[in-house]
Structure 1
């Protein structure tokens, strides 16, 4: 790399360090440290010892001499195991939303990729149109649709059904994930499918492949990079969301994002535990992405063979 290339890459590297590396280091530091209370001699006091010391000072009518210091600990990481159910529930709802997004987006992206260019632009604009609105506004709109006196229940009432309890449920949370993140599944699929050479499909048909075989043995394998990208772009924000679960789940369906938010901004203020949960979540997401990429590579190897 010459000097000019290094200078051109400097802003990007600086951005990476400031906004990615430094925050990750801070999260790791918070996750593996805690604030301990010490006596005047610097001895760390347990909760029982601290209570006894304060009681003794109160009895002797003396001012307690206490200090605080940051110490290394693994307890924050170990405490994350208490919230395994929340993590599993978050992953499960995110997986459901991701699968449904894939089922909806795949044929839609394929149809868009086979349209004329002018129609493709119109279809893509319609796909991206919801993304131009504020995220909170889009989610709030679904609150008004799903509530007991909302438009959907009113439509059911016209045919003598309902009202149904649709808001503050896991189904509402999944619906919010699908609506907000569906474009992130469509766009990478469309990007890959437009690059599939029609001559490849025609060659498969000339060799006697029927429509199902063309889709399953040609189009699907060649579109796997888009599938992998779409799964990542939908699953990652879905598993870590907290706005959707708070607004459409009513706080009764706590996800891992809600739990982290409580540790940093809520009544359960404990940034060290929040950092530990965030670190575990990042590792979990990294493993899921690694598995997805590995499956994608194996599928592409199968196509080459």
Structure 2
């Protein structure tokens, strides 16, 4: 095999141009450099800072400063003190995710198969709440569920709530706020999966004498599982770490782990406990994501 020659017109001693394949390989690395720098600056560095913070000496404070002592006992301490809000957060997030799945699947199915020429308009309506801030949307629910509001008054009139019954500052209010705020994160992946299903597959199941229910569970549901997994992850992860809904719609009895972390960081200045609790929540969510992806696979995730 002959050695590469210099380009035509170049001096005899000019270096040979690199092969096209090598140039293409280097181009890929150069294109990935901005994204790698972004991840390094805004993910790796903060993550390292959080891990280091979780291992600070618990005897320190925001005023006297903290010393890195690799105090792993911080994790045990925060689990013993705050296991209640942590379990409550996972429970609320799980209920809200199931509620989003039930409501979101019905809505996504309707948009994908029944909306016809209104499909694009309905998709716009799904994402329309994002045009208002998260805080404004949650405050709106506070007005809707207020003790003097129409909803509570109606439920008291028909006897579902007692004379002193209320919805605000209850687990129902927090879960309702989580469900409303994160419902679009469930609907969009589900719609993407359902919209890719060939309707002829469902027609074939009907031609083979499958009932509508059997055709759904044998054809539609399995083919939509990538959207179910993606929507579940996109809903459960932010819901588990949320603190706005519990703060505005709940009471101290509905405090979630996000409220505890926010209080430790901003009010108490206990950075070691806040960092350890944040890491525990991150580890739990990471394990849940890994297990879900290993069971569902990643090839068809939308």
Query: TM-score per shorter chain, which class?
Result: 0.7 to 0.9
C-alpha separation in 2, matches of 1:104 and 1:32: 42
Residues 156-188 of structure 1: per-residue CA shift (max 9 Å, x gap): 466677453111111100000011011111110
Contact 1:36 1:70 in 2 (8 A): no
Corresponding residue of 1:129:
128
Cross-structure match for 1:81: 79
CA contact 1:185–1:234 (8 Å) conserved in 2:
yes
CA distance in 2, matches of 1:198, 1:284: 39
Would the aligned equivalents of 2:52 and 2:68 in 1 still touch at CA under 8 Å? no
Q: SS in structure 1 opposite 2:68? A: strand
**Equivalent position of 1:41 in the other structure:** none
TM-score scaled by length of structure 2: 0.83
Residue 154 of structure 1 and its aligned partner are, at CA, apart by 3.5
Cα distance change of structure 1 residues 158 and 85 upon mapping to structure 2, 3 Å threshold: closer
Say whether residues 1:275 and 2:275 are aligned partners.
yes
1:55 match: none
Deviations 1:47-101 (A, max 9, x none): xxxxxxxxxxxxxxxxxxx997432211211112212222111111111111111
Task: Report the Cα distance in structure 2 between the residues aligned to 1:118 and 1:132, rounded to whole angstroms.
Answer: 23
- Closer, same or farther in 2 for the Cα pair 1:294/1:3, shift >3 Å? closer
Q: Specify the alignment match of 2:91 in structure 1.
A: 92
Larger relative contact order (C-alpha < 8 A, sep ≥ 6)?
2
Aligned partners of 2:197 and 2:223 also within 8 Å: yes
Alignment of 1:181-260 (within 5 A): 181-260=182-261
The answer on 1:13 being equivalent to 2:12 is no
SS at match of 2:57: strand
Cross-structure match for 1:113: 112
Conserved 8 A contact 2:56-2:66: no
Query: What is the number of equivalent residue pairs in this alignment?
Result: 270
Q: CA deviation at 1:209?
A: 2.0
Residue 143 of structure 1: aligned partner: 142
Partner of 1:292: 292
Q: Is the 8 A contact 1:148 1:163 kept in 2?
A: no
Segments of structure 1 that go 5 or more residues without pairing to the other structure are 38-65, 301-305
Bigger shift: 76-85 or 156-165?
A: 156-165
Deviation of 1:199 (Å): 2.2
In 2, the alpha carbon distance for the partners of 1:8 and 1:20 equals 19
Q: 1:221 to 1:71 in 2, by over 3 A?
A: same
Unmatched 5+ stretches in structure 2: 1-23
Q: Name the Cα RMSD after superposition.
A: 2.2
**Secondary structure class of the residue paired with 1:196:** coil
Q: Distance in 1 between matches of 2:66 and 2:210?
A: 73
Answer whether contact 2:86 2:257 (CA < 8 A) is retained: yes
In the other structure, the counterpart of 2:25 is 2
> Are the aligned partners of 2:156 and 2:165 in contact in 1 as well (CA < 8 Å)?
no
* Equivalent residue number for residue 303 of structure 1: none
Partner of 2:15: none
- Contact kept, 8 Å, 1:144 with 1:151, in 2: the verdict is no
